[in-house]
Structure 1
Amino acid sequence: MRFHLFSVLSVLAPGPLTGLATPFALHWDDIRPKHAWNSVPENWQNLGHSPAGATIDLHIALKAKNENALIDALIEVSSPGHPRQGEHLSREEVAELVAPPSDVLELANAWLEHYGVHPSTISTKHGGSWLTLTGVPVSRANELLSASYQLYQHIGTNETVLRTLSYGLPAALVEHVQNVAPTTHFGFPRTPQQESLMRRSGETREQTKAPGGDPGTILSRRDQYVTPSFLRWFYKTSRYVPSAADHNVLGVAGYLGDWPSPDDLREFMNQYRSEATEATYNVVKINGGGYDSSHPTIEANLNIQYTSAIAYPTPHIFYSTGGWDTQGDGFINWLDYVLGLWSVPQTISTPYSMPESTIPLDYAAHVCNLFARLGVRGVSVLFSSGNEGVGHGNCLIQDSSGSSQVQFRPTFPSTCPWVTSVGGTTGYNPEVAASFSGGGFSAYFPRPPYQNNAVPSFLRNLGNQYHSFYNPGGRGVPDIALQAMDFRIILNMKASNTHGTSCSTPTAAGIISLLNDYRISIGRAPLGFLNVLLYGRFLEGLNDITSGSNPGCNTDGFSAVPGWDPVTGLGSLDFEKLLTILTRW
């Protein structure tokens, strides 16, 4: 089986330029392919060309003059014992670190000028690594990118996007552009189940995650449920009183029309943490993101209610981000905004994911690089690992010979090495893996060095089981796992139960935010990128999960075993042990 193995660093490293002394003499029509789909992606249908006069906004990501510098800096500022540990970079320092060579920027502008893109429509951001083209006629975008933008509709949700099945770049530029968006990344619109839940909020219904990707929550009919008091007792946070609320902030990312309700939050606290009834949040709307508190959704309420219940009185920001519409891309819109901030929340919870195999490699590498920029600035970014075990459905793919075989389907951005992936558990005495906990190995990103002492032993014990179903050299997910079953929430002033890694992710984010509170309260830097710590100094503060599995793809999936495994990662968090570790620094 063939996997798309590559090194993030080598893919992002620019090659030498030639002929830049006379860039205007270049043959701009010498086009090299950047990415192409063989057919319309699953669950999409072609609606034909966009209306005459339609425009599109394009984001062009240029590679840094030395991309290794970003990852090197991220590891150094995140590693205990390193002289730079905790010396997180400012917005300006990151922009300087990721800036492209000046001649590449000059070349890109010459290319745009050749195709009649007016300079007034071009904005240069993030040290020149990001060019935003506003209001480009679709006909010109087609010429610029050797593309064929058309309208596509998601079957079942009627979401419509403007995308192309392929695009290319001039030979002189193709190795110096990381990604252009939106192009071939179709995103993840709401599933039919989410639409149903939005229309009939407050009802207790089952929700499963469709192949197109969506938030990872499933409503449950079970009578037993998890509340903040249980989580605070079980993960041992109840005795800690935050004292850095004037500096520590927790962010929750929302997409796809998800937003919370302050009334539901107040009622939730009345019922489940009465001393926190004053909990609130600020709303930041990005790129047309909406906010209607009279129509809250499960995902947003769940995240705000549980991060608030654990981290209270830490201030919260809820980001309502537009995108994944006719033109946009939600992740890129959100990252563009937060990377431009002078100050970013120290902890960010994001309970969204999509199968890695459904997105272009260049897009994944670009977005992953942007998350690394957040990490080097001192932000702990947590993503849910998904709710489909090792994958949804039969997971059959066709190889180059036309033969079909199984390929497990881990989720992105969870597979990005520069975020922390959160799986799911259930029960206590013992805590075991939740059967839906997403996990596996990336086909895009190689195993990062911080996993080299944890993952190989699992693979040795696994032996030849599922040989060719996964990439043994890939980044393993998840990193940690926490309770994810039967969470009690309030939706439209009514109580419901819900489960999924959308529950475990805000729980983990709340606990990490408390650890950041302690660090800030003693005048130290926040934890920032967590994984070097988790696979190193924090290991003794984790609860190993050794039973359960994550079936999927018509298989039994992987099994939780002693040590790291692709079901529960390194295990769950013990706040008091982790706090003790921090006091010894």
Structure 2
Amino acid sequence: MYIRHSWNAVPKNWVSLGQPPPGTTIDLYIALKPQRENAVVDALYEVSEPGHPRYGAYLTKEQVADLVAPHPETLELVNSWFEHHGISSSSISTTHGGNTLKLKGVSVTQVNTLIGASYQLYRHVESGETIVRTVRYSLPTALHRHVLTVAPTTSFVSPPTQWQTPRIRSSRKTAELVKLASGEPATMLSSRAQIDYVTPPFLRWLYDTVAYIPMAMGENVLGVVGFLGDYPSPTDLSAFMHKYLEADDATFRVDEIRDGGYDATHPHREANTDIQYAEAMAYPTPHVFYSTGRGPTGTADYYLNWLEYILDEMNIPQTISWSYGAEERDLPREYTSFVCNCFATLGTYGVSVLVSSGDDGIGRGNCVNANGVVRFIPRFPATCPYVTVVGGTTNYDPEVATWFSGGGFSDHFLRPAYQRQAVPPFLRDLGNRHQGLYNDSGRGVPDIAAQSFNFLIFMNGQEQTASGTSAATPVVAGIISLLNDWRISTGQDPLGFLNPWLYGTGRAALTDITEGSNQGCGMEGFSAIAGWDPVTGLGTPSFRRMMERLF
């Protein structure tokens, strides 16, 4: 046995509560390295790059399973390992596109022996959430070159809730935004066009979706991902849509995943914001909300639960909105690589995944790492190269970057090919500022941005405000869903993985943001400049201009 991954100490904000309850079991995922290491990513770029002969020729599940298949020797060794430890073949299944083995309902005691671990119950000091994890695990030496990662083991994922400023709205100021959207003079707006509240009419006017009516309702679907027991209220959605769009029939389907549950009588601000603004942008497109749990004893993994479910679905929504994330430094590289490859698989199916960049700017707190060194803290899955990441803006004419907009550079993933032309100009402009505090060869975050401050939402029948890039993300997802609707209704394929197009011909359809900066780590962060920047990415969307660039 040889250590596969370990932490020198329990990750920050987590404390051990000792051994998990007797009888605790784990569904353990063993992600195997494929025989053709980069086959899925290569296929993703082929089907996502405009002008490539295979553009839009999305893959079937059988084709993906063939690309990710492990070497026969890998399966032989792994099965021998299971057999040696008495793992019943009846408890083993294949998941996550075909390269992952799932051991269902294995006792913690048996897993400790299998991977040389010492699982304990941990509590997050801020949220109170409890999970079962280990700070180290091992594998037989012969398996290290065959196994990508084992999970859940050392991944301390605790998705944060939305950054928010709850307060009741002013109906007079709200009316000014409605006037603005309809073309009437808005007397309360300053010469700099600072706005007090964001509403659906304002967003639809600002991003030029007002005149478009979806036509592919029988085929096009928008999915919204939820974690942590965050539930949306259909009653609040009805009140919201009635007030702002006179759309009394707006609704959504709920898919419960791994004890995710659903209690409409106890809505959460995050889930309400996500559903209300995704619906506001894409109505009457069908919506599905995924309520994803961690299992009854906190033994499972939010991300892997959802990815297992969605990758097994026959009909996956063409657009997905994901407003959660965790500090990349709290996750093993092998784990983030595995999850990121699952997002790549979704892209090969023709799915556009929009992820929030986070609301801590360049990092939360003082950003001192385990070695006592200040280091900016990027967030995952925003750092995954195979998703489209949404940063935050505020005001209009011009829009400017919000101070909390998450942005920076990954420590786990290198700069992808589609960013090779866009990112270096920013780094040259930055010069020696913040030198050594970030990875200047890492994947840059975000890719795109949208309004993110002071959104009016309905909560338990009352109007309140909410803010964050997690509010911007469903807005952009709604716009992408409209583009997918237009393409499907005209006999074309959905957009799928967006970034090769966005950084290419689609870039001209975005409004560059050149003012504002983010903060964090007790200092000023990065600034928005002409071109790409790690605060607002390439800029904000214009639906009509994006349509024109897709002809």
Q: Distance in 2 between matches of 1:398 and 1:187?
A: 17
Q: Is the 8 A contact 1:216 1:353 kept in 2?
A: no
Q: Distance in 1 between matches of 2:448 and 2:523?
A: 23
Q: Distance in 2 between matches of 1:285 and 1:544?
A: 39
One of 421, 431, 441 as aligned partner of 1:453? 421
1:45 to partner: Cα distance: 1.3
1:51 to partner: Cα distance: 3.3
Q: Is the 8 A contact 1:215 1:353 kept in 2?
A: no
Residue 219 of structure 1 aligns to a residue whose secondary structure is coil
Q: Distance in 2 between matches of 1:148 and 1:245?
A: 50
1:582 to partner: Cα distance: 1.4
Matches within 5 A, 1:180-579: 180-188=150-158, 213-221=159-167, 223=170, 224-274=196-246, 276-323=247-294, 326-399=298-371, 404-579=372-547
Q: Distance in 2 between matches of 1:510 and 1:127?
A: 27
What's the CA shift string for 1:77-110, capped at 9, x where partnerless? Answer: 0011000000011122111211111221121111
Residue 76 of structure 2 aligns to a residue whose secondary structure is helix
Q: Is the 8 A contact 2:61 2:97 kept in 1?
A: no
Structure 1 position 61 matched with structure 2 position 31: yes
Matches within 5 A, 1:14-29: none
Q: Which moved further from structure 2: 153-162 or 551-560? A: 153-162
What's the CA shift string for 1:414-456, capped at 9, x where partnerless? Answer: 0000001100000011100011000000011000010001000
Q: Distance in 2 between matches of 1:525 and 1:67?
A: 27
Q: Which amino acid counterpart does residue 279 of structure 1 have in structure 2?
A: A
Q: Which amino acid counterpart does residue 215 of structure 1 have in structure 2?
A: T
Q: Which moved further from structure 2: 543-552 or 137-146? A: 137-146
Structure 1 position 175 matched with structure 2 position 145: yes
Q: Which moved further from structure 2: 215-224 or 101-110? A: 215-224
Q: Distance in 1 between matches of 2:309 and 2:270?
A: 22
Structure 1 position 79 matched with structure 2 position 46: no
Residue 397 of structure 1 aligns to a residue whose secondary structure is coil
Q: Which amino acid counterpart does residue 340 of structure 1 have in structure 2?
A: D
What's the CA shift string for 1:513-571, capped at 9, x where partnerless? Answer: 00000110111110000000110010110000000000111111000000000000000
1:157 to partner: Cα distance: 3.3
Q: Which amino acid counterpart does residue 443 of structure 1 have in structure 2?
A: D
Stretches of structure 2 that go unaligned for 5 or more consecutive residues are: 171-195
Q: Is the 8 A contact 2:96 2:307 kept in 1?
A: no
1:219 to partner: Cα distance: 2.2
1:161 to partner: Cα distance: 1.3
Matches within 5 A, 1:82-101: 82-101=52-71
Where has structure 1 moved over 6 Å in runs of 4 or more?
A: none
What's the CA shift string for 1:386-418, capped at 9, x where partnerless? Answer: 00110111101244xxxx321001110000000
1:126 to partner: Cα distance: 4.9
Distance 1:408 1:107, change over 3 A: same
Distance 1:486 1:126, change over 3 A: closer
What's the CA shift string for 1:476-524, capped at 9, x where partnerless? Answer: 0000010001101001111001111011100000000000001101111
Q: Is the 8 A contact 1:217 1:503 kept in 2?
A: no
Q: Is the 8 A contact 1:378 1:528 kept in 2?
A: yes
1:127 to partner: Cα distance: 5.9
Residue 424 of structure 1 aligns to a residue whose secondary structure is strand
One of 114, 119, 127 as aligned partner of 1:157? 127
Q: Which amino acid counterpart does residue 240 of structure 1 have in structure 2?
A: Y
Distance 1:473 1:349, change over 3 A: same
1:54 to partner: Cα distance: 2.6
Q: Distance in 1 between matches of 2:447 and 2:464?
A: 29
TM-score, scaled to structure 1: 0.88
Q: Distance in 1 between matches of 2:84 and 2:115?
A: 13
Q: Is the 8 A contact 1:350 1:382 kept in 2?
A: yes
Q: Which amino acid counterpart does residue 537 of structure 1 have in structure 2?
A: T
Q: Distance in 1 between matches of 2:70 and 2:18?
A: 37
Q: Distance in 1 between matches of 2:450 and 2:128?
A: 35
What's the CA shift string for 1:234-272, capped at 9, x where partnerless? Answer: 000001111111100000000000111111111001111
Q: Distance in 2 between matches of 1:576 and 1:106?
A: 54
Residue 144 of structure 1 aligns to a residue whose secondary structure is helix
Q: Which amino acid counterpart does residue 161 of structure 2 have in structure 1?
A: P
Distance 1:111 1:329, change over 3 A: same
Q: Which residue of 1 aligns with 2:193?
A: none
Q: Distance in 2 between matches of 1:90 and 1:425?
A: 37
Q: Which amino acid counterpart does residue 65 of structure 2 have in structure 1?
A: A
Q: Distance in 1 between matches of 2:18 and 2:522?
A: 36
Matches within 5 A, 1:120-135: 120-126=90-96, 128-135=98-105
Q: Which residue of 2 aligns with 1:48?
A: 18
Distance 1:52 1:310, change over 3 A: closer
Q: Distance in 1 between matches of 2:433 and 2:550?
A: 39
Q: Which moved further from structure 2: 100-109 or 294-303? A: 100-109
Distance 1:172 1:557, change over 3 A: same
1:128 to partner: Cα distance: 4.2
What's the CA shift string for 1:176-195, capped at 9, x where partnerless? Answer: 1111111011210xxxxxxx
Q: Distance in 2 between matches of 1:453 and 1:251?
A: 32
Q: Which amino acid counterpart does residue 285 of structure 2 have in structure 1?
A: T
Q: Distance in 2 between matches of 1:40 and 1:543?
A: 43
Structure 1 position 140 matched with structure 2 position 110: yes
Q: Distance in 2 between matches of 1:398 and 1:113?
A: 38
Q: Distance in 2 between matches of 1:92 and 1:350?
A: 26
Q: Is the 8 A contact 2:97 2:311 kept in 1?
A: no
1:160 to partner: Cα distance: 1.8
Stretches of structure 1 that go unaligned for 5 or more consecutive residues are: 1-30, 189-212
Distance 1:433 1:127, change over 3 A: closer
Q: Which amino acid counterpart does residue 322 of structure 1 have in structure 2?
A: G
